[in-house]
Amino acid sequence: MTQSAHEAGVAPAASVPTNTEAAAPSGWARAADAVRAVPGRLRLWFRSWTLRRKLVAAVVALVAVLGVGIGSVSVVLTHNYLIDRLDQQLDYASARGFAVAGQAYAQGQQVTAYPVVSSTGQPAGTFAALLSGGRVQSTSYLSTGSAGEVHDAVAENFEAKMAALVDNERTSVDLGGTLGDYRVAAQLLPDGRMLVIGLPLVEADATTDHLALTMLLAIISASLLAAGLGLLIVRLSLRPLDRVADAATTVATLPLDRGEVALQVRVSEEDTDSRTEVGRVGSAFNAMLGHVASALEVREASERKVRQFISDASHELRTPLAAIRGYSELTRRSGEVVTPDAQHSLGRIESEAGRMTAIVEDLLLLARLDEGR
């Protein structure tokens, strides 16, 4: 009686993936392979460039990198300089505001942010805030020609930003609303509250942005100018190399495989100056052509001797072969009785002499054809 695999305690066989499923790569694997193949494709693409394109690209890249480096340093230094100047103005504004607060304390008056920003000498855009225990008590902002409460112009997380300030600290914060970025300084008042005074960063940021845009346009212009001048300079500098290539092309079209070759092609003297790279190439090319010409002359002399030997040998062999054929034919046709073996030998001598004569005639014909006659 049969028993099922489950009843017999044997685990059912797991499904085995087919070869197609196991070999088929996943989408992630294909994407990873494509990414890994990018550097190799870029190298092949770069190798296919001409020397002119590589040199011009290198010049443009160098100008762009130098421009970006100089521009970045200039922007950073200019921004730091503007921030330092703004910090000096902020120190003066803080000193005036602290003096106003001190006078209010001396007179027993309540200190608020309004008299701090409205005091004489405070620049437009001055912002002041009084904090106690991390809570904002009053804020004031000096607009052009007037001062007023601007609670609604401050971001909701203003108190959290101000709570991180410590005494005599200067930092840049985003006040939110219509105020934007400010450079602020904090000072502790005698009653333990903190007076925060700030000046807008809009002018410093605008100057920095304008300088960055100017540097970017200058870098683009310099790169385009470098590309144009670089292409012109490279083209003029590589003209000798073009002439060397033209000479090589001319030599490649000459029939050097047979006959007497007059290899008179040479690179001009102006392109063989050993003090330059192209000149060294031209000089080496001329030396190579000289060696090739010498080798061709030696080959032609050797072939001429071989042809002369074949011609002379063929002429010399024609006379004895003709004599052999004549005497053998004369003996065979004479009326004297010869043995069958002698008759056979004479026939073989006559046929072999005829074959040798045909070979000699072919050698003479080949020699004449090789000489071009």
- DSSP class of residue 153 equals G
Q: Are residues 182 and 270 in the same domain?
A: no
- Encode 276-315: b = buried (16+ Cβ within 10 Å), e = exposed: eebbebbbebbeebeeebeebeeeeeeeeeebeebbeebe
- The model's pLDDT over 71-101, given as tens digits with 9 standing for 90+, comes to 999 999 999 999 999 999 998 988 888 888 8
How far, in whole angstroms, is CA 86 from its chain's centroid? 43
Q: Are residues 369 and 275 in the same domain?
A: yes
pLDDT of residue 22: 46
- The model's pLDDT over 174-193, given as tens digits with 9 standing for 90+, comes to 877 777 888 888 888 877 88
Q: Are residues 184 and 300 in the same domain?
A: no
Q: What are phi and psi of 193, to 5 degrees?
A: -75, 165
Between CA 303 and CA 297 the distance in angstroms is: 10
CATH number, domain at 271? 1.10.287.130
Between CA 149 and CA 288 the distance in angstroms is: 91
Q: What are phi and psi of 106, to 5 degrees?
A: -65, -35
Q: Are residues 276 and 342 in the same domain?
A: yes
Between CA 127 and CA 96 the distance in angstroms is: 13
Query: Which domain-ending residue is among 209, 239, 271?
Result: 209
Q: Are residues 291 and 368 in the same domain?
A: yes
Mean residue pLDDT of the chain comes to 77
How far, in whole angstroms, is CA 93 from its chain's centroid? 53
> Is 317 part of any domain?
yes
Q: Are residues 355 and 297 in the same domain?
A: yes
> Is 333 part of any domain?
yes
Domain range for 281 is 255-373
Query: Which domain-ending residue is among 188, 209, 230?
Result: 209
Q: Are residues 124 and 200 in the same domain?
A: yes
Q: Where are the extended beta strands (E) located within 133-288?
A: 135-143, 146-148, 170-174, 181-188, 194-200
Q: For the CA atoms of 108, 110, 114, 120, what is the dihedral angle to 10 degrees?
A: 10
> Is 197 part of any domain?
yes
Q: Are residues 204 and 78 in the same domain?
A: yes
Between CA 364 and CA 316 the distance in angstroms is: 11
> Is 136 part of any domain?
yes
- Number of domains observed in the structure of the chain: 2
Distances (CA, A) of 131 to 35, 138, 336: 55, 8, 155
Between CA 131 and CA 172 the distance in angstroms is: 18
Q: Are residues 202 and 285 in the same domain?
A: no
Q: Are residues 276 and 166 in the same domain?
A: no
Between CA 96 and CA 193 the distance in angstroms is: 17
Count of residues making up the chain = 373
The angle subtended at Cα 87 by Cα 85 and Cα 89, nearest 5°, is: 75
Between CA 108 and CA 179 the distance in angstroms is: 32
> pLDDT in tens for each of the 373 residues of the chain?
444 444 444 444 444 444 444 444 566 777 776 677 767 777 777 677 777 888 888 889 999 999 999 999 999 999 999 999 999 999 898 888 888 888 877 777 777 788 888 787 888 888 888 888 777 778 888 876 555 555 445 555 666 777 666 667 788 888 777 778 888 888 888 778 888 888 999 899 999 999 999 999 999 999 999 999 988 888 887 788 888 888 888 877 777 766 666 677 777 777 777 787 778 888 888 888 888 888 877 877 787 787 778 777 777 777 787 777 777 777 767 766 667 777 777 778 878 888 888 888 887 787 777 766 5
> Is 318 part of any domain?
yes
CATH number, domain at 201? 3.30.450
- DSSP class of residue 152 equals G
Between CA 53 and CA 124 the distance in angstroms is: 55
Instruction: Quote the pTM value.
Output: 0.59
- The model's pLDDT over 241-262, given as tens digits with 9 standing for 90+, comes to 888 888 888 877 777 766 666 6
- The model's pLDDT over 36-52, given as tens digits with 9 standing for 90+, comes to 776 777 777 767 777 78
Task: Work out the widest C-alpha separation in the chain, in whole angstroms.
Answer: 172
> Cα(first)–Cα(last) distance of the chain, in Å?
104
Which residues contact residue 104 at a Cβ distance below 8 angstroms, ignoring those fewer than 6 apart? 110, 111, 115
